[in-house]
Structures are given as C-alpha cells and as structure tokens.
Amino acid sequence: MSEKAKKVCFAILPLAGEFEDVYHFGIQEAAHSRGYLCERIDQDAFAAGPILQTIIRRLVIADLVIVDLSEPNPNTYYELGIVHALGTPVIAIARSTERIPFDFRDQSVLVYRQIGELRQQLEREISEIEAHAPQTSPVLQAVPSLDRVPKSELNELERRFKETKVPA
C-alpha cells in the first residue's frame, strides 16, 4: 500500500517530552502495523497556516483518532470534542483512570502501564474497530438525527479549498 493510499490516524496527546515514547513506540507503531499513516500536530509537514485551522483539517481527514487522556490538558479535551462532533472513531488511552474528566468516565479508555502493552492493546482495538461497524460518537448517540456530511464530501471540499486558495 502506498503512503498516499494509507488510512490516516491522528494522535492527540500532550507534546511534553514524557509522551514522546508513548507516541513513537506505542501509538505510531500500532497504527503503522495496522496500515495507518500516523500523524500528530507538531510534525513539520503541518506547520503552515493558523494552528487551529491546521488541527481541524487534520481531524476532518483522519480515519481514526487516538487520544491520550493521562494528563488534564485543555487542548486535548478541545480536540476530542471536535472528533466526537465529527463522528470519527476514537480510541482513548491513559496511564490510569484517576485523572479522566467526569464527562468522559463512562467511555471506554485503554489503561496502559508500559509502552509495549499499549502497542498490543492498540493493535487489538484498531482491529476491533475495523472488523465491526464504526463507533458512534457520544454526540451522535445523544442526537442521532444530527445531519452528517459524508467524509468523501468533506475530502472533496478540502481538495477544492486548496485549489482555490489565494496565495498571501
């Protein structure tokens, strides 16, 4: 499978140094093993333009999102809210459930102690998501009649946007 044909996994996690290994050896390796191109916002390829617009564009095109809720982080919660509104499948992970926000405590969270364990758990969870019907986000569970735009239409709109964007 070529890089362009790969599915996209977007990782949401604090950008602190302690999460580097979690991303590279846990999240990214698990995603790659299941055929995903794994990205996060601080990678150089996404540096152009306002950061919030860049994040939202990346979340819109993602086929899967993995979010680490180990540390309370407003940016993480904000991006997770966007993902839920989009209805994109999401896998939440955390080192423990002690710091999981109240609103999210009834959602499934993979708890990991070691990065090797995390990678194995993520590989299994990604396989489960691919084998079964897509997850329904809490937003769509609460409001099932909410009108959703198919991802193919969003991708087409993004392509047209790029074509018509006027250079600064």
Give residue 104's Cα distance to chain centre: 16
Give the closest residue to 92 by CA, choosing from 41, 135, 60: 135
Answer yes or no: pTM beyond 0.85. no
Residue spans of the domains in the chain: they are 7-164
Give residue-wise pLDDT tens across range 76-125. Answer: 999 999 999 888 999 999 999 998 988 888 889 999 999 999 999 999 99
Task: Indicate if the pLDDT at residue 2 is higher than 60.
Answer: no
For the chain, the C-alpha Rg in angstroms (whole number) is 16
CATH class label, 7-164: alpha beta
Residue 50 pLDDT class (50, 70, 90 cuts):
confident
